[in-house]
Amino acid sequence: MQDITIDHREKAYALLKEDADKILRLIEVQIENLTMPQCPLYEEVLDTQMFGFSREIDFAIRLNLISETAGKELIGNLEKQLNRLHEAAQK
């Protein structure tokens, strides 16, 4: 039974990491091809994606699939990568 629980936790973390990577790729494409970071559309997409991702994290934490620390780490890492991407687009 414990192996199943560990497997579910590993899968949940991997899926959340995948979603974070998808958000990063979406924002990369938007910056490169569609809009500049100052554009309201860019801000709207970023806010919507980050809100949805934070809800996913909260849900996984409440189900005890990931720890609060792991959830904060996933969000923090994504925010750092998005900030780097934003700064690069500003140059």
> Which sequence spans correspond to the domains of the chain?
2-90
Domain 2-90 fold is: Helix Hairpins (1.10.287)
Residue 86 pLDDT class (50, 70, 90 cuts): confident
Nearest to 21 by CA among 80, 78, 85, 79: 78
The pTM score is 0.84
CA distances from 87 to 2, 8, 31, 36, 80 (A): 44, 36, 11, 11, 11
Residue range 18-57, pLDDT digits in tens: 999 999 999 888 877 765 656 777 788 889 999 999 999 9
Distance in angstroms (rounded) separating the CA atoms of residues 89 and 8? 38
Pull the structure tokens for residue 6.
């560990």
Phi, psi of 84 (to 5 degrees): -60, -40
